[in-house]
Amino acid sequence: MAMTDPVVASLPLTGSAPHGWRIDCAEGRFEFSALAVEVIEEQPSLYEPLHRPFSLSRTDRVSIRVLLWILRLPGGAGLLRRWHAHRH
């Protein structure tokens, strides 16, 4: 289930029940009880430096484009397998 533009709000305490929470979003209003709620903020920029060492080089990208073009030809699958075996 995905929520569009969710807004989390706390509800007042009622007796001995766990703390109440409400999520308002485009899909509706959802109320629930929980001892704690952890809001996670997405920050893709944190992961960019981690992914950089695994990115393909310009040579690899050009090679892949050429190999995918060759793959359309008869015997292209064999060429792709040999290239991959040679690379590792």
Convert the pLDDT of each residue in 62-77 to its tens digit.
Answer: 988 987 888 888 888 8
The pLDDT score that the predictor gives to residue 54 is 85
Is there a domain that residue 15 lies in? Answer: yes
On whether both 33 and 1 belong to a single domain, the answer is yes
On whether both 60 and 32 belong to a single domain, the answer is no
What phi and psi values does residue 81 have, to the nearest 5 degrees? -65, -45
- Report the alpha-carbon distance of residue 47 to residue 80 in Å, rounded: 31
Is there a domain that residue 49 lies in? Answer: no
How many CA atoms, within 13 angstroms, populate the side-chain half-sphere of residue 88? 5
The pLDDT score that the predictor gives to residue 67 is 77
Convert the pLDDT of each residue in 5-39 to its tens digit.
Answer: 888 888 877 666 667 888 999 999 998 888 777 87
Please tell me the total count of domains within the chain.
Answer: 2
> Domain limits at 32?
1-37
